[in-house]
Amino acid sequence: MHLEQLLDIYDPQSKKLSIVDPILLDQLPSKPMSNASFNLAMLDKYPNWYEHLPAVEDMMRQEAIRYNKREEAGWEMGEEGEWYAPDGTPEWEWEGDLPEDLS
C-alpha cells in the first residue's frame, strides 16, 4: 500500500491528524473507530496490513508533527491539501525555512 492511497483527516475536536483509507471512508460508522476496529477493517481490505502498519504509523506520526508545527506557525492548509504561509505565500513559492525544519 502506498501513502498516496491514504486520505488525511484532521479532527478539530481532538486536534489530531488521522489517516483513513478513502475507500473505507464511506463504510466508517458515524462514531470514531477504535484502533483495533480500524486495523481489522484494513486487514480485511489489505491482507498484508500488519506488514505495512509500522511504516504507515511512522508516516502518520511524521505528518502529524508537520501538520501541527505548521498550524502553530500560522500556516493554513488549502482545500486541495496545499499549504500557505501566514502572509499567503504558497508553499511552493516559500523561500524560507519550513516550520517543521525549525526544531
Taking only the tens of pLDDT, the chain with its 103 residues reads 334 344 444 444 554 545 555 555 555 555 666 788 888 888 888 888 888 888 888 888 888 888 999 999 999 999 888 899 999 999 999 999 999 988 6
Report pLDDT for 76. 93
- Structure-derived torsion over alpha carbons of residues 70, 9, 92, 73, reported in degrees to the nearest 10: -10
Q: Is the dihedral of CA 94, 72, 31, 41 positive or negative?
A: positive
Q: What is the pLDDT of residues 81-96, one digit of tens each?
A: 889 999 999 999 999 9
CA–CA distance, 27 with 45 (Å, rounded to integer) = 12
The whole model's pTM is what?
Answer: 0.58
Q: What does the domain layout of the chain look like in residue ranges?
A: 3-75
